[in-house]
Chain A
Amino acid sequence: MFRLSPLRLGTLALLLAAATGAAFASGFAGLEMLTEILILAILVIALDMVAGFGGMVSLCHGALMGAGAYAFAMAGLSLGLPVWAAMLFAVLFTGAVGWIVGAICAGSQGIYFIMVTLAFGQMGYSFVFESPIFGGDDGLAGLARPDLSALGIDLNTSRAFALYCLAALVLVVLAAAQILRSGLGRALVGIRDNERRMRALGLTVWRTKAHLFGLSGMIAGVAGVLAAQHVMYISPGLLAWTVSGEALVVVILGGLGTFVGPIVGAVAFVVLRHEVSAITPYWHLVVGLILIAVVMSRANGIFGFVEDRLSRMSARRAARAAAPRGEPHDA
């Protein structure tokens, strides 16, 4: 069951403080990196919701993010909606797409689920790639950031934009925690642990899965809108399956189903990529080896490993404290 333990809350607070500090202290390059981390963190929270808590390992979250970005672009460029309305439209649209994909895939298990979501993701990619209205291979340019000048904030500076993304991440974390704590979220964890039992209890399993996938899609849509506003340009590459694969790598690196872990993973991934790319052009070799090592070590990512160690330590301490009373015949 989902619980915000003191360790998780503490890590979240620490991450928030670090991000706020970084937003005010760093220069342009640091701010770009921070923004990248924040957007990736939103995407992997969405993925962890379904993969970690629902057991639905999705390889289409990159495509969902891309759908959000394209929906935002099309709503602004073709429908002429104002920026805020376009953002709302994009998030709702991605949620609807996620719901449909989740409803269709709800019956598939294990490797088949991975394959179907991969197929849907690639379908979206080819559709966008081959349709001239989406600009095809060239992508779409000229996307707008929201105008916050009424509040005295100019979002066209990278510092303001990083803080804006941070605010979005905080909202997403609160929303995701609320969803996972609700009856729906508990039902999802129940399905992950024992689908037949949940069905016997009278739950409509496919509907729960579809709802959660839709909510996760909305969060992925938020990441897509922010990604589109960040570079102010989008291309079909956003929807490629390798983006979904990388998101899954980040979740695994941080700790699947730990809620906070994926955010830690996003920080580690972006920083690592930045540092390794500075030394060698073969960054994928390094991340591939790390991924293999993490999966083969059977630890649940960085955060999962720490959490596991700490809980084992406190269990040992509790056992030691209870020991004198536990051995009465020794005295």
Chain B
Amino acid sequence: MDFGFWLFQTLNALQLSMLLFLLSVGLTVIFGLMHFVNLAHGALYAVGAYVAATVAGTVGYWAGLITAPLVVAELGLLLYWLLIRRMRQSGPMAQVLVTFGLIFVLLDLTRIVWGDIALGIEVPQALAGRIEIGGVTYPVYRLFIIALGAAIFAALALVLARTQIGAMIRAGVDNDKMAACLGINVERLFLAVFCVGCGLAGLAGAVAAPILSVTPDMGLQILIPTLIVVVIGGLGSLWGAMAGSLIFGFVQTFGAVLLPGLASVLIYALLAAVLILRPAGMFPARG
């Protein structure tokens, strides 16, 4: 186990973390802003992957990468008007159940539209191949995922900390009733955040499509890790989503290499420990 090994595994962990970050950031901000639990977030990610695969097959990879988030954001808008608007005042169990039903519906709809066969898409020409860094050769595309995740994180952090809409979102997370009293249209803010969150889930699907095979149940597989990230990080917090993603990525990757057979148990034990010791997560958005 030399330096190259550690670097290689660190890059793997970072790549997994960034993928999870793209998924969990939307979920966590929706959760924090409106106390809404959207279990169908993973299903939206699967839809994003399918849209990207379809567009990439006909037009090209980059078109798919741009189309997928837009289509999934539109889908989010539709879901909002049909279901979520009416579920805002319900308890957590009703929300969990409705979005659980939504998982079933979206799962079968993707099977009806795209069939049961796994789709795969090619890595674009510009990002194909491997390059050498620090003595290890690493696929360029995976480095692109790391860079993209970091760029999105930086952009979101900037928007949240420095812009007026960011201040409004922070106010909404902190105390939505008071924010509404101050003249912020919290409901419209939620809609915007919800669509952006769904779009990011679609983007994650598009980014993941070339490295994972695109199957109808990919959304179910990613859902649990995403929820773990959100809960470990703390609901509603951008930094929490990043921290949770990094913790999950590193524990999962290094656990699989160093303690094979115990890696996933380790993750769940960590989650249970966080929930018991710090029920609001490591970096909760409210004090």
Contact = CB atoms under 8 A, between A and B. Distances in A.
A130 B261 contact: yes
B83 A115 contact: no
A119 B268 contact: yes
Contacts of A25: none
Given A111-B92, A130-B265, A284-B107, 19 more contacts: A57-B92, A57-B96, A104-B272, A108-B275, A110-B92, A111-B35, A111-B37, A116-B276, A122-B224, A127-B265, A130-B264, A249-B100, A252-B97, A287-B101, A288-B104, A288-B107, A291-B100, A292-B98, A295-B97
A200 interface: no
A118 B227 contact: yes
Given A289-B101, A295-B94, A295-B98, A282 B111 contact: yes
B105 interface: yes
A38 to B, nearest CB: 24
Question: Which size class do B's interface residues fall under?
Answer: 35 or more
B100 A289 contact: no
A158 to B, nearest CB: 30
B91 interface: yes
A123 B269 contact: yes
A225 interface: no
Secondary structure of the B side of the interface? helix
Contact of A104 (B96, B109, B231, B276): B276
B107 to A, nearest CB: 6
A118 B96 CA distance: 12
Contacts of A70: none
A115 B224 CA distance: 10
Nearest to B95: A111
Interface residues of A, number: 38
Contacts of A118: 224, 227
Interface stretch (A29-37, A210-218, A240-248, A307-315): A240-248
Nearest to A104: B276
A178 interface: no
Contact of B272 (A107, A116, A242, A252): A116
